Structure 1
């Protein structure tokens, strides 16, 4: 199961990199960057998973277990989950800024083609 997550993360990363390197439309380039970000999130969450683990939230311990035994037992890694949540928030903000930049470029240059925008330097 976990191996499938790693393979999907690699495939999504490769797809995002392919879009990033082959497309000239600025919106498609931003979409490729978003795919690369998504593959990173999947990889982080897959690394945090442990087979047979419990959630790191200990509101009500399972029957027969105390909070102390759960804290030393097999729990999912909360650090990677927190890093992933933080990365998602930052990724949304960066994507919004990139899309605003693309809109401003389209308004100013009347094109979304990266090659034409590059040739209009003055």
Structure 2
């Protein structure tokens, strides 16, 4: 089951990379970079997953498990989950800045085509 997540993360990254490298519309390039970010989130969460694990912070252990068994490491990794949450917040901020730059480029050059913007250098 976990292998499916890794394959999905690779496919998402490849789709994002393909979009960034083949599209000339700047808005589509930003969307491709967002796809690449999403693949990183899926990869981090897949690394944190453990089969049959429970939440890392519990008041009482789930039915059928002892505190000693939970202390042996049968919990999901909270560090990678925290990294993922932090990466999502940073990714949203960076995407917002990219979209603000795209709006300014569209206002200044009246186009979103990257080739035409390069040709207008002066």
State the alpha-carbon separation in 2 of the partners of residues 42 and 118 from structure 1: 34
- Number of residue pairs aligned between Structure 1 and Structure 2: 121
Equivalent in the alignment of 1:37? 37
Q: State the superposition RMSD in angstroms.
A: 1.2
The alignment's TM-score, normalised by the length of structure 1, stands at 0.93
State the alpha-carbon separation in 2 of the partners of residues 17 and 61 from structure 1: 43
State the alpha-carbon separation in 2 of the partners of residues 93 and 40 from structure 1: 16
Matched, 1:12 2:9: no
Matched, 1:86 2:86: yes
Gaps of 5+ in 2: none
Equivalent in the alignment of 2:108? 108
* Pairwise CA distance, 1:58: 1.3
Gaps of 5+ in 1: none
* Pairwise CA distance, 1:112: 0.2
State the alpha-carbon separation in 2 of the partners of residues 72 and 85 from structure 1: 25
Which string of whole-angstrom CA distances, capped at 9 and with x for unpartnered residues, describes residues 1-54 of structure 1?
Answer: 101001111111000000000000000000000000000000000010001111
State the alpha-carbon separation in 1 of the partners of residues 98 and 71 from structure 2: 42
Which string of whole-angstrom CA distances, capped at 9 and with x for unpartnered residues, describes residues 32-81 of structure 1?
Answer: 00000000000000010001111112123224623x55233311111100
State the alpha-carbon separation in 2 of the partners of residues 104 and 12 from structure 1: 28
